[in-house]
Structures are given as C-alpha cells and as structure tokens.
Amino acid sequence: MPRAGEVLMERDLEGKVAYVTGGSRGIGRAISVALAKRGANVVFGYFRNGDAARETLRLLEDEGVKALALKRNLTDPEAISRSFDDIEETFGRLDVFVSNAASGVIKPFAELNERAWRWTMDANARAFFLGGSRAQPLMRDGGSMVGMSSGGANRVLPGYGVVGASKAAIEALARYMAVEMAADGIRVNVVSPGVVDTDALKHFPMREEMLDRARTQTPAGRLVTPDDVAATVDFLTSEKATMITGQVVTIDGGAGLLA
C-alpha cells in the first residue's frame, strides 16, 4: 500500500533523458532522483560542491540509470552551451529540462549594484532563457520544461529585490515559451515552492524567522520538503499533465494565501 502523500509513477521515462540544473543537492537532487526512479537517464549540473555531486551520482546510479554530472557555472553562456553539447554527444536527445539552479545577491535595494543585478539575472533568468533555447531542438519527440520560481516573484521578501525580479522573468518567459513551443509538443511550466529547508536559506539573514513562520503559520501544518517539489515536477513532466502548459504551480501548503 502506498503511504499518504507517496506518488506512484511507473517507469514512464525509460530510455528518455532529463537534465536538471543545480541537481546535486537540495530540491534539485530530489527532482533528479525522482526522475531516475521513473527510468530517465539523468544529467545534472552543479557549480562548486563536488562532494554533493558525487553523492547524487551514486544515488542516481543506484536507480539503474545512466547519470552524468556537469560542473558548470551557469552565469557563463559558454558553459551553458557546452552542457547541451555534452548532452547531445552523450545521449543525442533530451526529453525533460528542469532549470532549477539559482544564485543571487540578497541585500536591501540601496545596497544593490549593477554587478549584483547581472550575476543574479544571468544565473537565474538568462540560464532559463538560454537553456530553453538549446533544449528545444533536442526535444525531437516533444518534451517538458520546468522553471523554478518562488513567492518573491510576486510578493516582497526582505532583501530579495533582484532575485524576485529574476524569478518574475522566469515566470513571464515560461508563458511565451509555452505558446511558441506548443506546436513542437513541448510544454513549459514553472513551480513556485514555499520555504524549503535547504542550504539556500543560509544566505538569508532572517533564515530562522522564515523557518519559524513557515513551520507555525503554514495552513497545511508543516514545511514544504524537496520531495513535495519533486512530486509536482513529476506530475508536470508526466502524460497526466499533457494539457498543462505556461502555468506557475505554487507548492506552499497554503502559506501564500494568508495576509
């Protein structure tokens, strides 16, 4: 019997290829492993943390699929291009692209400068834009793309100005990509998780307050987990979601509904 909340998926991605940026740890690792459990060969990206990448590689190989780790800085367009060259050379196709990696400067507006803007927009919004452009021709049999946003795209979180702007750009871009790629059988959606307790929160000066608030005030009664996000990505990249495209799906246990 499945446990409550457990998502049952067949190996519907057998022989297919998925690429998850920032797939070495946190939410991206949960997504990578979930895609591998569905039979997909998984390419995942990381930037600096080799230990986490090695551990993820082992978890993916345990699922009996082919796995490839790419150490690339996604603020560099050349590095993005090389990642897709590697995917094409190794697998010759792509079926699922999850643009999950994120980086950014968290500071009050008055302390932000052009460098912070460029780094944040490049790592998040441009990486989704360039990745989507390169993924499209590799999805010869159609496919599914998922971008990663957050509540800060629409609401104001302390110090989150440029990251919020980069996430809003991802949401807008996904709608255009969804319409323009529909004829190729490619769907493009975005997921927007609430607070998830990953290493990313270490960069937030008010980490403890955010976690406390999310734990005590989320209507669903608990924090969102990486597996909650992976389950939604599973759904969006499955045939069950064939008619869902250009949407932003919030995964926050109702937290964003509160005033």
Ligand X SMILES: NC(=O)c1ccc[n+]([C@@H]2O[C@H](COP(=O)([O-])OP(=O)(O)OC[C@H]3O[C@@H](n4cnc5c(N)ncnc54)[C@H](OP(=O)(O)O)[C@@H]3O)[C@@H](O)[C@H]2O)c1
Catalytic residue among 167, 176, 202, 240: 167
The answer to whether the beta carbons of residues 226 and 20 sit under 8 Å apart is no
Identified binder of ligand X from the candidate list 17, 40, 188, 195, rule CB under 6 A: 195
Identified binder of ligand X from the candidate list 13, 16, 24, 94, rule CB under 6 A: 24
Is 154 a binding residue for ligand X by CB under 6 A? The answer is no
Closer residue to ligand X, CB minimum distance, 45 or 161: 45
Kindly indicate which of the ranges 2-10, 89-97, 198-206, 236-244 contains the residues binding ligand X, using the contact rule CB under 6 A. Answer: 198-206
Query: How many CB atoms are closer than 10 A to CB 156?
Result: 10
153 phi/psi in degrees, rounded to 5 = -70, -30
Is 164 a binding residue for ligand X by CB under 6 A? The answer is no
Q: How far apart are CA 73 and CA 54, in angstroms?
A: 17
Minimal distance, residue 100 CB to ligand X, in Å:
5
Minimal distance, residue 171 CB to ligand X, in Å:
12
Is 159 a binding residue for ligand X by CB under 6 A? The answer is no
Is 46 a binding residue for ligand X by CB under 6 A? The answer is yes
**Binding footprint of ligand X, residue count (CB under 6 A):** 30
Distance from CA of residue 21 to its chain's centroid?
7
Binding mask 63-102 for ligand X (x = CB under 6 A): ---------xxxx------------------------xxx
Is 248 a binding residue for ligand X by CB under 6 A? The answer is no
Is 47 a binding residue for ligand X by CB under 6 A? The answer is yes
Closer residue to ligand X, CB minimum distance, 60 or 184: 60
Minimal distance, residue 124 CB to ligand X, in Å:
7
Binding mask 105-134 for ligand X (x = CB under 6 A): ------------------x-----------
Kindly indicate which of the ranges 19-27, 106-114, 138-146, 177-185 contains the residues binding ligand X, using the contact rule CB under 6 A. Answer: 19-27
Residues identified as active-site? 160, 167
